[in-house]
């Protein structure tokens, strides 16, 4: 019984701290990226990633890749 309670407490603790990021940053980063402001978007995506948002990490990578591609085209 103690093992079950321990495992449940670990699971619930993980749920409480899993989504400790600011969704507004993600919206602002998306808007900046859509407008072509990759520098601002990269900063916001990095903050979102640092807060534990996996989508923020993925979007940071795609934003940086897009910025590099556009720099090569110009």
Average pLDDT over residues 67-72: 76
Whether residue 57 lies inside any domain: the answer is: yes
Q: How many domains does the chain have?
A: 1
Distance CA 37, CA 1 (A): 54
pLDDT value of residue 25 = 82
pLDDT value of residue 43 = 92
**In terms of Cα–Cα distance, which of 33, 44, 27 is closest to 66?**
33
Whether residue 2 lies inside any domain: the answer is: no
pLDDT at 74 over 70: no
Over the stretch 6-53, which tens digit does the pLDDT of each residue have? 666 655 555 455 556 677 888 888 899 889 888 899 999 899 888 888
Whether residue 7 lies inside any domain: the answer is: no
Range list of β-strands (E), 1-74: none
Q: What is the pTM of this model?
A: 0.65
Domain coverage including residue 54: 20-73
Count of other CB atoms within 10 angstroms of residue 19: 10
Q: Is 37 exposed, middle or buried (0-12, 13-18, 19+ CB in 10 A)?
A: middle
């Amino acid at each position: 019984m103690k093992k079950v309670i321990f495992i449940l407490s670990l699971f619930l603790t993980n749920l409480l701290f899993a989504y400790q990021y600011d969704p507004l940053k993600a919206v602002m980063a998306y808007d900046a990226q859509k407008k072509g402001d990759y520098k601002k978007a990269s900063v916001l995506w990095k903050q979102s990633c640092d807060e534990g948002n996996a989508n923020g990490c993925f979007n940071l990578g795609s934003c940086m890749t897009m910025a590099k591609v556009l720099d090569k085209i110009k």
